[in-house]
A = this chain, B = another copy of it.
């Protein structure tokens, strides 16, 4: 029991032996957005100490959650999730959904990064679908998020070059409130500046 394990033959305990360390699941969250280099992870995890990130990456690699590879072009280390690690998406999604009450209230001083919203939106809207395909833009914190819905489901894209007709400029909390169903479309619209078609926006973001 050197590396402080719970020492229990229980699925949850063994999962937490791997993922329960501080920052571990947040590292997984970053990598769910795709492979990333060390410094990119540092930026996405404000507050983490450099030694801790290195340690967590080593632990997760040894456990088989993360794999490191060498990018041929830049000749630098790239981290990504293994197939088994990618299966954590459902758990992360579940926690994001569960957190909705914590997002509506709570401290305003927390830092915010736009790509975190893409995880949250994927989670909250994951059973959303519409007969007519739509592409709606959200301008949050200077970044455009494109939400596409069709009958097969939804997809979230950051840094997309598409120019959707409808664009909402709003605060993260308003977007989350609308997506989680805790704000009505009218309340959300009243809280933001808009260009384009407001109804499209409400349709795209109201949970199915």
Contact = CB atoms under 8 A, between A and B. Distances in A.
A91 B88 contact: no
B25 A106 contact: no
A182 interface: no
Ranked nearest first, the 8 interchain pairs of A and B with the lowest CB-CB distance are A11-B96, A11-B99, A10-B116, A9-B110, A15-B95, A14-B102, A91-B94, A9-B112
Interface string A145-187: 0000000000000000000000000001100100000000000
A8 interface: yes
B15 A29 contact: no
A27 to B, nearest CB: 11
A172 B111 CA distance: 44
A95 B101 contact: no
A101 to B, nearest CB: 7
Contacts of A96: 11-12, 15
Interface string A88-128: 10111011111111110011011111001001100100000
Interface of A: 5-20, 22, 25-26, 29, 46-47, 64, 84, 87-88, 90-92, 94-103, 106-107, 109-113, 116, 119-120, 123, 172-173, 176
Contacts of A90: 94
Contact of A98 (B26, B91, B103, B107): B91
B94 A10 contact: no
Contacts of A92: 12
A110 B88 CA distance: 24
A46 B119 contact: no
